[in-house]
Structures are given as C-alpha cells and as structure tokens.
Structure 1
C-alpha cells in the first residue's frame, strides 16, 4: 500500500516536471513561431504590417507577452491565446486556449467561462480555482501564450481615415501621435465600441494629470473619432507654464492662467495684461486689448486664437545702454543660456575673424538701484567683443564724458570703481582698430585697416596698386613690428609694414638725367669760355 502511494507521488512529480518543461518551451518561443501563429489566427493578419505607436516588431513580440502577463489590468481580448497546464493524476495536461469573439473559454472538460469584461488576472484566478477543485495536487499554471492583434479605425480631424492594427496594450494616445490636423481636439476624442457605445476622452487630462482613465486601452472594433476643437488660446510671459491650450466650455482667463498656465510667476504684473485678438475684428492684423488687475478675478472671456501676454515687473527696471564694440544682451542670453559665469576670455577665443568687421551695436542693460559700474561690467562681461578697446571706454552722461577703464575692472580683482550706475547712462566701448602700413612705390601710400588672413596683394590693392613708373616686377619688402623681414607668402599681421621698392631704371634715368645734362652743359660752357678768353 505504501509502495503504491510512493509510485503515485513519483508519477505526479514526473508529470509536474513535464508540465514545467512545456512552460519553459512557451517562454522561449522564437519570434518566427509567434509570427506564424499570428498568421493562423481568426483576425487574418497573415504576416501583414501591424502597428501600435510604432510598427510592431515581431522580433519583440515576446516582450508584449511578458508585459501582458505582468500587467494587473490587461483585459481578456479576442485573439489572445492562453496556455493551461496541470497534472491530472500521473498525466501532464498542457494545451492552448484561443479566445474568440464570443469570449468563451473552455477549461478542459471541467467548465466553460465567459471572459468578457474581465482582466486576465481575474480570469486566471477563476481558471486556477476550477482546476484546483478537481485536481488539488495538479500544480495548475495559466499564462498568456500570445497577445491579440486587432484592428481599429481612426477618423475625424486626422490627415486621412486609417485602419490600424494594434495590440490590447495600445492606449488611445498612441494611435494619434502623428496624424492629427491643426484643428484636432485632444480634449474631445470619441471612441465608439463595436457594440455602438460612445464615450469621450480628454487626453490633456491624461497627459497633464496622469489620469489614465482618459487614455484607455483600445478594444477590437473600436472606432476613434477625433473632433474639432472649439477654442485654442496662447498664454506667454510671466506664467509658470506658457503655451497654447485648448479651453473647455466656460473656461476663460482665470482657468488659462491659474490652471493651464500653472499660475503667475513671483514678479508677474497682473495689472498689465495684453490680449491680441485676431477673431471678429475688422483689422486683419488683429487688435490689442489691455486688461487691468481685476480681469483674472472677473474671468475675462477669451475667443478662439486669442493670445494673452502677462507682463513682468522686471520689464520696468531702469536701464543703461552699452554701445560700440558690444554684443546684444538678448543674443548673449540665448546663446549662453544665461550663464554669466563663463569667462570673457572664452568669449574672445570663440569670436571669429569677422569680429573685426562688426558694426557698432547698442543694447539695453537693466541694473539694480545703487549698483556699482564694476559689478555691472563684470556681470555682463561677455557683452564685450574681442576687438573692444576696453582701456578707452567712457560713460556718456548728459553732456558729460566720464572715462572708465574696463580692462582694469575685468582683469584686476583688486580694482574698485566708485562710479555708480545712473539711469540712461551710455557706456561707450570703442573698437580697437589695427592697421597695416603700405609705403614706397604705390599710388596711395598710407595706413589701412587690418583684415585677418590677407596677403600683401590685398593691402597693396587698397593703396591703389604699384606705381609702374617706379616699381618693376612687383618687388616689395615686408617687415614686422620689430623691423624683421617676413616672407612674401605669409599672411600679413597687424602693424606690419609693406614697402614697394623703387627699382625702375627708367624712373631713375628720368629723375637724374636732367641734372646730369645740366651739369655737363655747365662744364661745357665753362670750357668754352676758358677757350675763348685765351
């Protein structure tokens, strides 16, 4: 008797091992096998293109199965295939259970279950309870073998009506990522089920608040209708979340600022609100509407396409002007993302050669009351270009000129300036101009502005070219600031001197021939007089 029980237990254990091996095979399904299995199901995919938010990759179908098995809310879906395995005495039972459009699931010869409206976890518990009641030692296992792939229709405010193939893990937002028109509403998307039940969803709430009830899983036969929005308005300026928002019925300025815009920033000036209105106005360019501090509380009514701007108290700060060899403060902030700690040396190294050709610029700079010029200049040190003559800068205040050495301020940490910034001062920063001297046998000798990466031909050209009566064969001499000769094929550097040689025989002959002739004539005359007087 005892021997019979041992044999029975061993047989059951062997059956469990066989069942475990069956599940191991299930978990190691190849992507090709899954693709072939999909092709034989009732939805008739037959290896056609299948899409979720991206195109479905059959090599990753195993991942969909893993996600479905681990999801608490994965719904039982027609097209799913489940694997049921358990030990019935000494026999290992393992087989696949497809889910058809009636949601009928047959559990061996034990029971029939309707899975409609159930999650997989709910179905799993029900199936395992049935098997365990009949086979207490059966070690039942019930898993998803293959997830369903089915079709949904997308129409309305989309580029074109489409039929998309998705899985039961696909949410509504995933099929609407690229096909929306400019007039599509994300606040009113309707899903019509295969039974004709209509329900609207607000994808903005899902995206902003994480409310997944507004971004449901799609179901077989769903028809998705993207409706047209009623009002879209824009809010910019001193709000936490500037942007373009779709307003619902009854929502206006208060909701736009405090809900969609996230509220006013700390230095927002609610008494200076501008509304640019382009709808229902005679002027095609629109008109500006200026609102006071009570407009938010009164929930001023907004129309479609309105653009709302909230002013900032920082805009009312007093300013001084930087003029001359300076960059625009706005461009500087955009390019450096407001990082004023980057050294000015870095700014100079990054300047291109074209800096020497820049025209004078003028930019407004805000400052704090009683701010010292030393602090202001250091704060905006990247404003100054590489060819700025920092030592020659000065402040123009009314009719007065006040010299200020910016080089000392920027590079001498011990330097202190007692000059206080005053409203509407103009800090003038001259350009540091380099020159190249051209002398000798040229038409217009002189000093000419230095331009990087130029050879001697460029500067001789500026000087009008060679004087052909004095120079032959374009003969020149180039010397640097130390009077050292330089090669002709090198680029000219600042303060070099280019001398065109005067080497024409004709020039010297014409220059000295009259003198020689005069001298010879004088000598001849003298000898003639001597000869006559004898």
Structure 2
C-alpha cells in the first residue's frame, strides 16, 4: 500500500498545476519556504513558469555536465590552435579600452583651483591689479596696502613712485626695502602680497568649452583647461600651448605629468594669454599581456617601443613568440607577426596601429593542508594535480591523501543547478502532499530548508593514491586542493543517541559505529543510512538487506574520516529518491566543514 501511495504522490508532484493553497497550510511553513511556494504557484497561475518535469530537469543537468566536459576538451584544443595562428590572422582587442589620460580632468580636484587669497611663491610676477601690503617697523611705523596702477607702479608716501609690474615678488621686495632704507633711518620694511589680480585669458582649439575666462593671476595652463571643461575628443593630451604675444612660451604634455611624474609648469597666466589645445595626434592601441592596456597618443616620429613603455611594460605571462602588430598597409588592414619586442625599437608609430601580446594560458590554483609548502601557485595550461602537489613540495608525513578535497568552479556550477532542481522538486512534493493530506510534513519541510540553505561546494571526487587519475586531471583557474591529516575517527550524525566522533576500528561495519554512538533513536530510518567517504564518494546502506541487493552490506567499507548519517524516517509524503539527493548534498558540505575544522584544530 505504501508503494502505491508513494507512486501516486510522485505522479501528483510531476503533474501538479496551480491552484489556491490552503492558508492554514501556508502559515505553518517557515517564511522563506512559504514565500517560494507562493511565488512558484503565482507563476503557474500567470502561465510564466516552465512546466515542471523531473525528466526535463535531469536532461538539463546532464546537458550542463556534458557541455562542461566539452568545454575542457575545447580549451585544450584551442591552446594548440592559438600557437598555430599565421601572420595574417586577426586578433581580438578589448573594445572598451580608453585613451590613456582622457579622464584626467574628470578627476581633477576643485581644491587645486587657485582662490582669491595670496599664496604664491617668491617667483610670482607682479602686474597691474595686484595689491601689495607694506609694513614699516622702526622710527617710522606704518602698514598700508598699495594697488599696482595701470602704469605698473605703486606710490609710497615720502618715497614716491616705484615701477614693480613685471618684477617677481622677491625682486620687488628687495627694491622696496632698498628705497625705505635710503628714505628712513632705522626703519625696516616687510612686503607681502595682499590681493592677487584677475586675468582674462582665451582657451581655444580642441577644448571642451572654448572661450574667454577670468581667472586669478596665480593660475596656470592646467587651471585654464579645467575651467574650459578639459580636452575634447579631438584634442591632444600631448601638446597644449600657452601663447603670449603670438609666441609659444610654454607647452604642456599631460603624459609628462601622468607617466613621467614631471611637473614642469612654470608660467603663470597673464591677461591676453591664449591657451591652445592642438589636434589629437597618432593613437596606438596596446592590449593583451601588458601591465596597463589602453590607447595611447604618440607624436610623429616616435617609435612603437615608447607605447610599450607608456603601458608600463610587458607582464610576466606574455608569450613573446606571439606578438602581433595590426596596421593599415596600402589601404588594407593587415596583421604582422612580430619576432620579438625589440623589433618595435625600429618601427615608427602610425595612427591606428594596434599591438597585441598574447598571454600564456596560466591559471592560479591553491593547495593547503598537509603539504610542505601550502599556498597559491601559478600553473601552466596542461599541468595536473600532481604538478600542483610537486610545486607544494609534496606531502607531510601525516598526510591523508584518501581524504583530499578538490574544489572546482565548473563542478560548483553543476552543483548549483542540481541543488536548484532538487529544491524545486521538494517544493512541489510539499504542495502535492498538502493537497493529498498525507502525513506530517514537518520532517520534509525541515529537509527542504536544509537544501535551500546548503551552499554548492563544487567538490570533485579524486583519488590522490591513484597516480594515473592525478596525472589526467588538468588544473583550472581557481581550483583548490586541501589535503587533511589522518584523523582516526568516524563521524556519526542524525538519529542516533549520541552524535559525534567515534574512534576508528579496522574491519568494522556501519552497525558497529552506530552502536558506539548509542544506537538508533525511535524515528531513525535504518533502511536508508547515508555514508560519505573521505574521498567524497557516497553510499546508501540498508540495515535490512533487500533480496534485490547485488552486494551484501558487509562489502561497504568504513574508512577513517567517513561520515555516517542516519536520517529521520520519512513517511510516504516525501519520495525517498529526492530525499536521498538532499542528504548526499548536505553530507558533502558537512564533510568539507569537518575536514577544515580538523585542520584548524591541528594548527
């Protein structure tokens, strides 16, 4: 009878359609489970859900696993193909690369702008509109401000007119002190700048907002460009000229600031000055195994080696036998194979050039636990788990290779998909059971919560004691290997009188370790006991052997570090097939957690 009910429930769970759910039943569920069930039911009512079928979901999972295996095979093939590209082959450049330095004025702090308070150095050139403060100390004591008039002079009582426009602040100070010493005996003069003049300048050429701007007399080319919104997409970062009386008196190269760290701006602006942004010059793109991939502006006559220097050089994973230069030749775009990077020392830049350094397909992998040199290692394409172990110096004396935990991102994706499918199956089973009024749903709901809260771990079952399998598995980006130390205990959890660790004993079966944990509780399901072995493999154990079993239960071997889990008995409200998948998933995370805790304890 139980089998019939179980079969009917499975059919109901598969063919379940949206309908009104019992409010009392919904209130009995945990908040997160209730929310998910209501959302699933609403999608069914809206007709926006994908019709549920375990066959469809199983097919999706199988396809995902197949595609990941195909991906691994293709990666290996592509590595070989990559090295066989001929000189006419094109290469993929990052289309999102920006012109280096183009965002300089976007990040320019407004606090760099001069304010109308004097803070110039002694080399500041005085001009009409500046205000000097002169303090006399001695027999004649006085303090007063003096505006530099339109003729460039100030007029000091009892001394007369002094021409100061065009002189530096330091030279002006020395001149005034000399005049005071001559005019007044025993009197000393102290000169400072009280107010800075305003200047009217023109920013033009390829600026974002060309026009006439009023700035303080302590401003320079950078402040003028900032006031005009920076340099336009057509303007040069390499040649911004300060023109005074139709003569270029200073040229700013933004790359001197950004790349060379040279702040060589000397001239302060004067009224009538013109800041002219020249047109953009040659743009060269450099990408691939470069420390700072970007587009760079270069002068006519510069060599391509300068672009590599601008990009902070070649990084350590560059394949120097695979360097490409793409440029226009006789009206057509051609890819030229470059024998080595020194070749660029002889080639002039050309607008539109693209340089690409191919990368060796390196990847990072981590190894920890009972190895001599744990840490992160750079691995080449095709290197295996065995290569990673060798880089880590091999195992320590107490390493437990059979209990190694290997984590992989691709496996984690499959695990996540599997968990999602399993969770949806449980939700539908809960709904089906509630509609059939079959038994107590509390154990099923708790198990559903466990599935939802169990993170996918991406563990791959490996056997480090098998040299052939270790040599066949290629390292992927982000892989992690943890080798625990031997721990002579067996973990027993679930419906036993005393959960925890039991001392390992050779040639003992499941019943022995359960008995050591106090035996089964009243509601233990001793017909569906789950065992997770240290290497990640799981087995189902039944204390009562079925006539359909191929192997006797004595063939199930328990190892040091094995986990025995005795679940609570579920009635026919939950198909055991999906319960088994849930327990295996939960046990996998438990095994990783116990191994990690053991390692921390050893430390």
Structure 2 length normalisation: TM-score?
0.46
Partner in structure 2 of residue 300 of structure 1? 347
Given that residues 74 and 120 in structure 1 are in contact (C-alpha distance below 8 angstroms), is that contact kept between their aligned partners in structure 2? yes
TM-superposed CA distance for 1:310, in Å, is: 2.9
TM-superposed CA distance for 1:169, in Å, is: 2.5
**Which of the residues 320, 327, 351 maps onto 1:277?**
327
Which structure 1 segments of 5+ residues have no match? 1-51, 318-328, 344-363, 380-408, 420-425, 437-447, 480-484, 502-534
Partner in structure 2 of residue 414 of structure 1? 399
C-alpha distance in structure 2 between counterparts of 1:114 and 1:254, whole Å: 53
Q: Does the alignment pair 1:233 with 2:284?
A: yes
**Which of the residues 175, 199, 222 maps onto 2:273?**
222
**Which of the residues 439, 450, 470 maps onto 2:422?**
450
Partner in structure 1 of residue 232 of structure 2? 181
Partner in structure 2 of residue 145 of structure 1? 194
Q: How does 1:335-414 map to 2 (within 5 A)?
A: 366=380, 372=386, 375=389, 414=399
Q: Does the alignment pair 1:246 with 2:297?
A: yes
Partner in structure 2 of residue 84 of structure 1? 134
Q: How does 1:164-179 map to 2 (within 5 A)?
A: 164-177=213-226, 178-179=229-230
TM-superposed CA distance for 1:101, in Å, is: 4.5
Given that residues 298 and 349 in structure 2 are in contact (C-alpha distance below 8 angstroms), is that contact kept between their aligned partners in structure 1? no
Given that residues 379 and 388 in structure 2 are in contact (C-alpha distance below 8 angstroms), is that contact kept between their aligned partners in structure 1? no
Give the direction of change, closer, same or farther, for the CA distance of 1:168–1:241 in structure 2 (3 Å limit).
farther
Give the direction of change, closer, same or farther, for the CA distance of 1:191–1:341 in structure 2 (3 Å limit).
farther
Partner in structure 1 of residue 207 of structure 2? 158
Structure 1, 91-100 or 137-146: larger mean CA deviation:
91-100
Q: Cα RMSD between the aligned structures?
A: 4.7
C-alpha distance in structure 2 between counterparts of 1:237 and 1:435, whole Å: 36
Q: How does 1:3-18 map to 2 (within 5 A)?
A: none
C-alpha distance in structure 1 between counterparts of 2:208 and 2:322, whole Å: 40
TM-superposed CA distance for 1:73, in Å, is: 2.4
Given that residues 241 and 275 in structure 2 are in contact (C-alpha distance below 8 angstroms), is that contact kept between their aligned partners in structure 1? yes
Partner in structure 2 of residue 73 of structure 1? 123
Partner in structure 1 of residue 166 of structure 2? 117
Partner in structure 2 of residue 4 of structure 1? none
* 3-state SS of 1:140 partner: strand
C-alpha distance in structure 1 between counterparts of 2:157 and 2:198, whole Å: 25
C-alpha distance in structure 1 between counterparts of 2:161 and 2:398, whole Å: 87
* 3-state SS of 2:259 partner: helix
Given that residues 430 and 444 in structure 2 are in contact (C-alpha distance below 8 angstroms), is that contact kept between their aligned partners in structure 1? no
Given that residues 455 and 490 in structure 1 are in contact (C-alpha distance below 8 angstroms), is that contact kept between their aligned partners in structure 2? no
Give the direction of change, closer, same or farther, for the CA distance of 1:486–1:167 in structure 2 (3 Å limit).
same
Structure 1, 92-101 or 126-135: larger mean CA deviation:
92-101
C-alpha distance in structure 2 between counterparts of 1:113 and 1:498, whole Å: 108
C-alpha distance in structure 2 between counterparts of 1:498 and 1:342, whole Å: 43
* 3-state SS of 2:222 partner: helix
TM-superposed CA distance for 1:226, in Å, is: 0.7
C-alpha distance in structure 2 between counterparts of 1:123 and 1:143, whole Å: 10
C-alpha distance in structure 1 between counterparts of 2:225 and 2:170, whole Å: 29
C-alpha distance in structure 1 between counterparts of 2:143 and 2:202, whole Å: 37
C-alpha distance in structure 1 between counterparts of 2:418 and 2:306, whole Å: 63
Give the direction of change, closer, same or farther, for the CA distance of 1:76–1:377 in structure 2 (3 Å limit).
same
TM-superposed CA distance for 1:157, in Å, is: 0.8
Give the direction of change, closer, same or farther, for the CA distance of 1:238–1:374 in structure 2 (3 Å limit).
closer
**Which of the residues 447, 455, 459 maps onto 2:429?**
459
Partner in structure 2 of residue 54 of structure 1? 110
C-alpha distance in structure 2 between counterparts of 1:264 and 1:108, whole Å: 68
Give the direction of change, closer, same or farther, for the CA distance of 1:263–1:144 in structure 2 (3 Å limit).
same
Alignment deviations for residues 209-245 of structure 1 (CA, whole Å, 9 cap, x no partner):
3444446322222111111022121223445554332
Give the direction of change, closer, same or farther, for the CA distance of 1:492–1:310 in structure 2 (3 Å limit).
closer
Give the direction of change, closer, same or farther, for the CA distance of 1:131–1:371 in structure 2 (3 Å limit).
farther
Partner in structure 2 of residue 309 of structure 1? 356
C-alpha distance in structure 1 between counterparts of 2:215 and 2:341, whole Å: 50
Partner in structure 1 of residue 438 of structure 2? 476
TM-superposed CA distance for 1:341, in Å, is: 9.1
Structure 1, 144-153 or 236-245: larger mean CA deviation:
236-245
Structure 1, 267-276 or 78-87: larger mean CA deviation:
267-276
Give the direction of change, closer, same or farther, for the CA distance of 1:275–1:478 in structure 2 (3 Å limit).
farther
Given that residues 478 and 499 in structure 1 are in contact (C-alpha distance below 8 angstroms), is that contact kept between their aligned partners in structure 2? no
RCO greater where, 1 or 2, for CA within 8 Å and sep 6 or more?
Answer: 2
Given that residues 123 and 168 in structure 2 are in contact (C-alpha distance below 8 angstroms), is that contact kept between their aligned partners in structure 1? yes
TM-superposed CA distance for 1:57, in Å, is: 9.2
Which structure 2 segments of 5+ residues have no match? 1-107, 370-377, 452-566, 575-603
Give the direction of change, closer, same or farther, for the CA distance of 1:490–1:112 in structure 2 (3 Å limit).
farther
Given that residues 128 and 165 in structure 2 are in contact (C-alpha distance below 8 angstroms), is that contact kept between their aligned partners in structure 1? no
Alignment deviations for residues 75-116 of structure 1 (CA, whole Å, 9 cap, x no partner):
213321111121473x53322111245422333342433334
Give the direction of change, closer, same or farther, for the CA distance of 1:256–1:493 in structure 2 (3 Å limit).
closer
C-alpha distance in structure 1 between counterparts of 2:123 and 2:356, whole Å: 44
Structure 1 length normalisation: TM-score?
0.51
Partner in structure 1 of residue 155 of structure 2? 106
Given that residues 156 and 226 in structure 1 are in contact (C-alpha distance below 8 angstroms), is that contact kept between their aligned partners in structure 2? yes
* 3-state SS of 2:187 partner: coil
Alignment deviations for residues 287-316 of structure 1 (CA, whole Å, 9 cap, x no partner):
42222237636522332121212345x44x
Partner in structure 2 of residue 401 of structure 1? none
C-alpha distance in structure 2 between counterparts of 1:428 and 1:56, whole Å: 50
C-alpha distance in structure 2 between counterparts of 1:226 and 1:186, whole Å: 8
C-alpha distance in structure 1 between counterparts of 2:401 and 2:445, whole Å: 47
